[in-house]
Copies of this chain bind each other. A is one copy, B any other.
């Protein structure tokens, strides 16, 4: 039976928040123009650069990840500009909508939901663009809606060969979960959100801007005010913000980034990788089907195809019996898949717990045998031990 307040969040955001971070969140606010707050902006910015593995500017916006992605687009492009949008899930779709809303000419590169984008399609279109009309390539690294990770490294290398187009990348569920070396991969614009790998509640988003991205802002003619990144850059020189920032979320950010530095990037990435492997193997052992292409599983989300079983009903049972919140399918996938988030402040116990809960409900439904439930548990534990 569910006990309100003892919820376990296994969705791809909001993700669980450490007690230390919640305590930081609940401190009395301070003045956002004070020296004390400037010190916080300085330290969080430095740690954000560490997390992004970059020397580029990393700006903090009060708003969702969508606000950060929109900012990346409207600050560097102009009406009528030609862009490529990679679309293989709900977020890919969203960036197409944003691009069209701002009057950009969109070349779509599609892939069926659950499958990755094909880097060679990007290469082909970029190579054919002899006149360098394509101003940007907009894509999603980890597709939260399907649990697929796109091959950003390869796509970015093709963008670099093209030499003119900017990369504008939604790394909302990859940043802080797997390797996103902004400088090494030469990513121009990377957007992310606080309620994901950052382990803090929603409300802040982050955007990195390369030198090339800043140069593009000089030509951009799209109107913007709240999301005008030049104002953020100017304020950042003084460790400040153009508009009142979500002060308490910045307290939380500071604490969470310190915890991340303590754990170290390699450990964070291998923890997420281990959980991804354990989850996908458990799912197979339970006779369920992975929704995403197994060679391109997101480090943060495992999507499960429930086939003839109603996924929403299944999620509800897990919630009612065990207080574990799983995510449903979005749009046409509603009722057909459910998604397990294993992103941010997640440990091995959370993984065996969610596998046990899923096993239990499948047992009750007569979908698996006791033997199979036991095997799934063994597989999960083995993956957690090995990796």
Which residues in A have some Cβ–Cβ distance to B below 8 Å?
Answer: 4-5, 7, 9, 11, 13-14, 16-17, 22-23, 25-34, 36, 62-67, 70, 74, 97-98, 101-103, 193, 195, 201-203, 222-228, 243-249, 325, 327-328
Contact = CB atoms under 8 A, between A and B. Distances in A.
B29 A226 contact: no
A25 B63 contact: no
Contacts of A17: 28-29
B22 A23 contact: no
A64 to B, nearest CB: 4
A225 B31 contact: no
A255 B346 CA distance: 29
A54 B244 CA distance: 27
Contacts of A30: 7, 9, 14, 325
A9 B26 contact: no
B16 A31 contact: no
Given A97-B225, A101-B225, A223-B102, A14 B65 contact: no
B226 A227 contact: yes
A82 to B, nearest CB: 17
Main secondary structure of the interface of A (DSSP, over half): loop
A227 to B, nearest CB: 7
A189 B147 CA distance: 40
27 contacts: A7-B28, A9-B30, A9-B31, A29-B202, A30-B325, A62-B64, A62-B202, A63-B63, A64-B226, A64-B243, A66-B225, A67-B226, A70-B226, A74-B223, A98-B225, A102-B225, A103-B223, A195-B244, A201-B248, A202-B245, A202-B246, A202-B247, A202-B248, A203-B203, A203-B247, A203-B248, A248-B249
Contacts of A4: 36
Contacts of A26: 22-23, 25-26
A371 B230 CA distance: 52
Nearest to A63: B63
A225 B74 CA distance: 10
The 7 closest A-B pairs by CB, nearest first: A203-B246, A26-B26, A14-B29, A64-B243, A201-B248, A22-B26, A67-B226
A101 to B, nearest CB: 5
Nearest to A10: B31
Contacts of A101: 223-225, 228
Given A29-B17, A249-B246, A62 B203 contact: yes
Contacts of A74: 223
Q: Which of A195, A243, A245 has the most CB of B within 10 A?
A: A243
A324 to B, nearest CB: 11
